[in-house]
Structures are given as C-alpha cells and as structure tokens.
Amino acid sequence: MREMEGKDMATATKNSRSDAKPAPTGLAVHCRGVTKHYGAGDNKVMALRGVDLEIAYGQLMMLVGPSGCGKTTLISVIAGILDRDEGECSVFGVDYETISQRQRTLWRGQNIGFVFQAFNLLPTLTAAENAAVPLMILGEGRHSAVKKAEDVLARVGLEGRSKSLPSQLSGGQQQRVAIARALVHQPRLIVCDEPTSALDEHTGHSVMRLLKGVAMAEDRALVIVTHDARIFSFADRIATMNDGVVTRVAAPDALTH
C-alpha cells in the first residue's frame, strides 16, 4: 500500500492550508451534560443521559462501550447530524444551536468528515466520485474534485480501483472509500463509526496511521468509535461509555494492561 506516514500527512496538510495559525487554545470538542432521546411515550429511549467529554486539539479520542450505549448518537451530536435535547456542546468553539441551519450545513461541510458505520456510499457513483462528494458540495469543479479523490484513494491503498462502483468492491474496500471521502476536504474534525471493522489487521493499521497523521495537526481532532482492541494503541485517550454516559476517560495502556 502506498500510504503517507503520519508526519508527512500532517505536514502536507499544514502546508496546503494558507490560513495556518499558531496552536489554538481551548478545546476541539466540549460536551457537558448532553442528553438525547428517541421516540415518545412508551417508545421513548434515553440514548444520552448527560455526557461530559472533552477532546483537546491534536488528539485522537476513541469511544468504546457495549452496543446500544449511545456511541453513534454521541458522535452524531458532535458532528451536528443530530440535535441534542439538553446540555452544552461545542466543536472548535462553535455551538450548532447558535447558528442557522444554512450556516451549520456549510460549517459542517467545511470542518467535519464523517465515516458512517454502514459506509453510505452512493451505488451509482464510482469510488472516486463517491470520495469527491464533499469537495463538490463545497463547490469544487468535478474534474479537480475527482482528481483529489483519486489521490486520497491511493493513500488508503485503492490505487487502480477509483473507477469501480461500490458493488464491485469488497466490504473492506468500500470502507476505505468511505474513509477517503472523510479525508478528501481536509476537515478539522474527523468522526468515524467503526472505521476498521471490515479491514484486516495490516490494512486497519495503515488506515489508522493515515487517520492519526491527519489528527496530529495541531488545529484538528479525531473521534473514533471502535470495538477493535487491535487499534487501541493509536488513541491518545479512550472514553468508555455505558448506558448513555461517559464513565471513564483513560490513556490506552490503562485499558489494555
């Protein structure tokens, strides 16, 4: 696999940004007392019951916990895909509740990359077209967007597959297209739901090195939901969730030893 190692990617990312600034102060993500429910009446489910979570700039935070404990709901609130019920939540100092829907859509498009658990690739678009979607949404022309997408696909080991449709790719290859799509517009926050679940150990580690390289830039952050203990060592911090709250935040060696 032709991949960019972490430091190179971070440097390339920094150099390509004309608005490079000194290290920001404050937190990349700040959640305090966040609650969220689904449904009503007898069907009401409290998915988040008061989440506190802080993610520093340049940090890779993993989120672990049993199925149904609220991980996907929490990252959806952080990414601005779902509205919280109560509590505080800001990302790079921006609270979605204080800006209009239009501003939020634009801000999210520029600043967030999301890897969905089910990949959510568009079946009629090629791998490169799928990965180019965030750039095209931001107004970049089709030709240059697809060209940039092909470069990122090569970095996740999919050189030569850019013209394939999702149905012509394995689960692991589709997962890497979804990861390329989350990276292509160089977002400041990347949020991933089980990004290595369909990858073998070697490919999973390569993808993690690439993702980690992106997050190590000092104005960025990365949140990864995972069950995959093989990648815990890539985390700076691991937050454990249980029944709608974060119960513990620890360094990875505290969990694996």
Closest contact distance (angstroms) between CB of 191 and ligand ADP is 12
Per-residue string for binding with ligand ADP, 61-80, x by CB under 6 A? ----x-xxxxxxx-------
Residue 124 is which amino acid?
T
Q: Compute how many residues bind ligand ADP; rule: CB under 6 A.
A: 12
Q: Which does 220 bind (CB under 5 to 8 A by kind): ligand ADP, Mg ion, none?
A: none
The reply to whether 72 sits near Mg ion by the rule CB under 5 A is yes
Q: How far is residue 92's CA from residue 108's CA, in Å, rounded to a whole number?
A: 11
Closest contact distance (angstroms) between CB of 42 and ligand ADP is 13
Q: Which is nearer to ligand ADP, 91 or 246 (CB)?
A: 246
Residue 11, SS3 per DSSP: helix
Q: Which is nearer to Mg ion, 11 or 35 (CB)?
A: 35
The reply to whether 162 sits near ligand ADP by the rule CB under 6 A is no
Using alpha carbons, list the distances in angstroms from residue 182 to 116, 153, 156, 211.
9, 11, 12, 10
Question: Strand order in 112-115's β-sheet?
Answer: 112-115, 189-193, 221-225, 60-64, 237-242, 245-250
- The rounded radius of gyration (Å) of the Cα atoms in the chain is 18
| Residues comprising the chain, all counted | 257
Q: Which is nearer to Mg ion, 154 or 246 (CB)?
A: 246
> Cβ-count burial of 220 within 10 angstroms (0-12 exposed, 13-18 middle, 19+ buried)?
buried
Among 20, 45, 122, 254, binds ligand ADP (CB under 6 A): 45
Residues lying near ligand ADP in the complex (CB under 6 A) are found at: 38-39, 45, 47, 65, 67-73
